[in-house]
């Protein structure tokens, strides 16, 4: 159980806000205002959410549909599987709209001629940072459907969903986004040179969003083992679905072993 550390009032409506350890951005359950709990005065943030398209029945249908098809899946996956848990969780994300330009100099060795190259790699991103410190969510695989963004309102949330406040504030999130973008730009340089001698990335943050996204977390059981499916409650897309090895055997043994290591 999370430890209740503090109780303060919402800067907008005065309602009581309960904070648990590590939370820095808290959303008021009465009026939906998100505020940063640091320093003397709470600071109110612009806050959005993604409108949910899937209710519980819709999420269940999406899971059944996913279990039903796909070349990598065991033939009896849908028939032999049982959904053992299904919960909608509102996860906090920061989304930064950034322009990044990397000036590089290096050597192209793949042609066998050690050709010197330099240039600029310029990209635009909507870069996501999860506002939680722990938890197993594949942020990179999640294509956040920003077109479904609406102003935050507690009335618009999925019934019986769980809500997570942010443990990362917007300043830290921006630092993380800059680091990630810089690292990603460096990866892109592999297309241009084999040996990077110099690379400098300029990251311009043009806009920042704080929003909550509904994700259906589900566990299903197949032949005595649990697997996870995550579904985007806004777009209806499967964010990640764990597929059992078709025949059991060594692959499944490895998968089981790593699961025990990381979640044991």
Which residues contact Zn ion (rule: CB under 5 A)?
Answer: 10, 12-13, 15, 28, 30-31, 33
Q: How far apart are CA 75 and CA 69, in angstroms?
A: 9
What's the closest the beta carbon of residue 87 comes to Zn ion, in angstroms?
A: 25
Strands (DSSP E) contained in the chain are 4-9, 16-20, 25-27, 34-36, 43-45, 48-50, 81-108, 115-130, 149-151, 162-163, 195-222, 225-232, 238-241
- For residue 200, how many C-alpha atoms fall within 13 Å in the half-sphere facing its CB? 2
User: In terms of C-beta density within 10 A (0-12 exposed, 13-18 middle, 19 or more buried), how is residue 203 classed?
Assistant: buried
Query: Smaller CB distance to Zn ion: residue 4 or 13?
Result: 13
Please give the DSSP secondary-structure letter assigned to residue 252.
H
Please give the Cα distance from 218 to 230 (Å, whole number). Answer: 6
Return d(Cα 231, Cα 178) in angstroms, integer.
28
Q: Which is nearer to Zn ion, 15 or 256 (CB)?
A: 15
Q: From the CB of 138, what's the least distance to Zn ion, in Å?
A: 32
In this complex, which beta carbon is closest to Zn ion, that of residue 2 or of residue 14? 14
CA 56, 217, 163: angle at the middle one, nearest 5? 85
Nearer to Zn ion, 13 or 195 (CB): 13
Give the nearer residue to Zn ion in terms of CB position, either 23 or 232.
Answer: 23
**Least distance from Zn ion to the Cβ atom of residue 15, Å:** 5
- Residue 8 or 150 with smaller CB distance to Zn ion: 8
Q: Which is nearer to Zn ion, 29 or 138 (CB)?
A: 29
Cβ neighbours for 202, distance < 8 A, ≥ 6 positions apart:
100, 101, 102, 103
Selection from 136, 141, 49, 62 nearest residue 90 by Cα = 49
Closest contact distance (angstroms) between CB of 211 and Zn ion is: 18
């Amino acid at each position: 159980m999370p430890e209740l550390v503090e109780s303060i009032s919402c800067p907008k409506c005065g309602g009581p806000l309960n904070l648990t350890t590590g939370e820095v951005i808290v959303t008021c359950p009465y009026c939906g205002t998100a505020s940063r709990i640091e320093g003397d005065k709470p600071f109110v943030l612009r806050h959005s959410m993604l409108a949910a398209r899937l209710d519980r029945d819709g999420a269940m249908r999406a899971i059944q549909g996913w279990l039903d098809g796909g070349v990598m899946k065991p033939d009896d996956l849908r028939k032999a599987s049982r959904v053992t848990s299904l919960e909608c969780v509102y996860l906090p994300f920061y989304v930064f709209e950034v322009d990044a330009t990397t000036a590089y100099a290096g050597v192209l060795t793949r042609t066998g001629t050690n050709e010197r190259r330099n240039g600029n790699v310029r990209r635009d991103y909507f870069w996501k940072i999860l506002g939680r410190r722990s938890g197993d969510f594949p942020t990179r695989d999640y294509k956040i459907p920003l077109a479904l963004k609406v102003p935050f309102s507690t009335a618009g949330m999925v019934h019986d969903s769980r809500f997570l406040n942010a443990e990362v504030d917007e300043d830290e999130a921006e630092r993380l986004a800059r680091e990630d973008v810089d690292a990603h730009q460096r990866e892109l340089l592999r297309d241009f040179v084999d040996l990077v001698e110099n690379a400098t990335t300029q990251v311009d943050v043009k806009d920042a969003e704080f929003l909550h996204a509904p994700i259906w977390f589900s566990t299903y059981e197949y032949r005595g083992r649990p697997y996870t499916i995550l579904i985007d409650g806004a777009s209806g897309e499967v964010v990640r679905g764990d597929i059992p090895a078709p025949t059991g055997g060594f692959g499944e043994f490895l998968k089981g072993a790593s699961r025990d290591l990381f979640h044991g």
